[in-house]
């Protein structure tokens, strides 16, 4: 109770809004090559030090921590952090973060990670939190914007790991032979053969509309069709819906060929794939209906040998964004576990942020093992929002990943107070 009272006093009796404004200015706008700008920055830095000194003096023994909290978190964010500390009795020791529509948003941040978010990630890294970037993107794309945003030194510090292609591989610079783990190399030969066949044919066999309207994302393993139109647009939605049906048919045919399954009741591999995945995913079912591609067979008609492969492969539909096949044995949970192993985080209490079904698997995994906290943007898939609201309610505005990161910063600092 004493800590709650002290925190209440901090936000009642000190100008914490000014303290945060100064911290934001000093942190986001560092000194530049201009005498006037440098003087302005120095004045703000001196003012920040004075404000922090007043907090330090008012709270003996915890003044430095309270100054850090006040300089980063609003009153509501600080008390949310205190509530989380009371609930879990520990701080976060690793960040597990999705990128697209989580750290950055095509709709509100021009698909760039905002400077405040980058600054908070840097500061959290500096206080000892390893960072696991967990994304469906290719490794090269992720490496590029991480180095540009966070700097080469931080990315190669040994405390940053990238789970790419939703778990197909893990890249952790600075760890010798463990720097890059190709998790897809551990899959069975028959699964690899199916993916190889789909990848080799997906554009060459595609109808003209898909060849001209889509491109194949440069993955190492997953097969992902992306639109040649702005993500989220009507044109992107139209072409991805068409591409999903085509990809299901091509994948189903590849599976039937690889397991040497005979057609039954007039159905083909593509029909089996439509029936199986349409039954498993309401979104896919809706696309099949809207495209006039509802299968003539039932899920029960899928041969056992074909079903065995389908059970191991995920067909993912991202509205107006992508159609993808990936191995269910290579998901973000598997990738995160591998990343934590390389980073030597043996007792994780992770802060997980994401918006999609693949992120939900990580959230459910940390919840099941009492190993973390989840947060999600307000536009996330229904399952993600339901999970986050049912646990700690950390739902944030689109493009505002800084808010939950400030809560994590406050939680981490408060957890170290005796």
> What is the pTM assigned to this prediction?
0.86
User: What number is the average pLDDT over the span 48-63?
Assistant: 93
HEC-encoded secondary structure of 162-226: EEEHHHCEEECCCCHHHCEEEHHHHCCHHHHHHHHHHHHHCCCCCCHHHHHHEEECCCCCCEEEE
Other beta carbons less than 10 A from residue 234's beta carbon: 10
Percent of the chain with pLDDT over 90: 81
For 74, list phi and psi in degrees, rounded to 5.
-70, 170
Confidence of residue 266 (pLDDT cuts 50, 70, 90): low
Can you tell me the distance from the alpha carbon of 30 to that of 24, in angstroms, rounded to the nearest whole number? 10
* pLDDT tens per residue across span 120-133: 999 999 999 999 99
252: three-class secondary structure by DSSP: helix
Q: Give me the mean pLDDT over the 202-214 stretch.
A: 96
Lowest mean pLDDT among 38-47, 57-66, 122-131: 38-47
Please determine, for residue 261, whether its predicted confidence score (pLDDT) is greater than 70: no
Digit-coded pLDDT (tens) for 350-383: 999 999 888 999 999 999 999 999 999 999 999 9
Q: Across-strand partners of 170? A: 163, 181
Mean of the per-residue pLDDT values for the chain? 92
Q: Tell me the β-bridge partners of 323.
A: 225, 317
Considering only CA atoms, which of 12, 142, 139, 149 is closest in space to residue 78?
12
The pLDDT tens digits for 288-332 are 999 999 999 999 999 999 999 999 999 999 899 999 999 999 999
Domain definitions of the chain by residue range: 2-72, 94-185+330-415, 188-327
- Give the count of beta carbons closer than 10 Å to the beta carbon of residue 3: 14
Residue 249, token pair as written in the block = 């048919």
Element (H, E) at 133: strand 131-134
Burial class (CB in 10 A: 0-12, 13-18, 19+), 61: exposed
pLDDT (tens digit, 9 = 90+) per residue, 147-176? 988 999 999 999 999 999 989 999 999 999
Using an 8 Å Cβ cutoff, are 280 and 272 in contact? Answer: no
Selected from 3.90.550.10, 3.40.50.1000, 3.40.50.300, 3.90.1310.10, the CATH number assigned to the domain covering 94-185+330-415 reads 3.40.50.1000
* DSSP letter assigned to residue 362: H
Question: In the prediction, which pLDDT does 333 show?
Answer: 96
């Amino acid at each position: 109770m004493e800590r709650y009272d002290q925190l209440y006093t901090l936000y009642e009796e000190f100008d914490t809004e000014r303290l945060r404004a100064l911290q934001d200015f000093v942190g986001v706008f560092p000194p530049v090559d201009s005498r006037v700008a440098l003087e302005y920055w120095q004045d703000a830095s001196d003012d920040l030090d004075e404000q922090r000194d007043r907090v330090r003096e008012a709270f003996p023994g915890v003044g430095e921590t309270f100054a850090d909290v006040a300089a980063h978190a609003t009153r509501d964010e600080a008390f949310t952090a205190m509530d989380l500390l009371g609930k879990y009795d520990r701080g976060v020791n690793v960040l597990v973060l999705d990128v697209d529509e989580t750290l950055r948003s095509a709709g509100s941040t021009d698909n760039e990670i905002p400077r405040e978010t980058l600054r908070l990630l840097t500061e959290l890294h500096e206080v000892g939190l390893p960072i696991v970037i967990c994304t469906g993107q290719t490794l090269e794309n992720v490496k590029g914007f991480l180095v540009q945003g966070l700097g080469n030194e931080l990315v190669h510090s040994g405390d940053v790991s990238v789970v790419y292609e939703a778990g197909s591989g893990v890249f952790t610079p600075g760890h010798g032979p463990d720097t890059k783990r190709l998790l897809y190399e551990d899959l069975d030969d028959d699964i690899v053969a199916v993916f190889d066949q789909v990848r080799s044919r997906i554009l060459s066999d595609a109808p003209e509309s898909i060849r001209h309207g889509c491109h194949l994302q440069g993955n190492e393993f997953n097969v992902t069709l992306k639109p040649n139109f702005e993500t989220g647009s009507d044109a992107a939605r139209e072409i991805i819906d068409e591409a999903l049906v085509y990809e299901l048919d091509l994948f189903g045919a590849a599976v039937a060929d690889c397991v040497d399954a005979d057609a039954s009741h007039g159905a083909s591999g593509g029909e089996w794939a439509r029936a199986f995945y349409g039954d498993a995913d309401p979104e896919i079912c809706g696309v099949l209906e809207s495209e006039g591609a509802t299968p003539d067979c039932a899920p029960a008609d899928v041969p056992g040998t074909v079903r065995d492969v389908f059970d191991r492969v995920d067909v993912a539909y991202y509205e107006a964004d992508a159609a993808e096949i990936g191995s269910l044995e290579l998901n973000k949970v598997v990738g995160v576990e591998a990343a934590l192993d390389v980073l030597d985080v043996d007792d994780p209490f992770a802060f997980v942020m994401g918006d999609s079904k693949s992120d939900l698997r990580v959230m459910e995994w940390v919840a099941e093992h009492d190993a973390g906290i989840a947060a999600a943007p307000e536009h996330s898939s229904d399952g993600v929002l339901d999970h986050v609201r049912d646990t700690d309610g950390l739902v944030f505005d689109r493009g505002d990943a800084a808010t939950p990161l400030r809560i994590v910063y406050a939680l981490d600092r408060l957890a170290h107070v005796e």
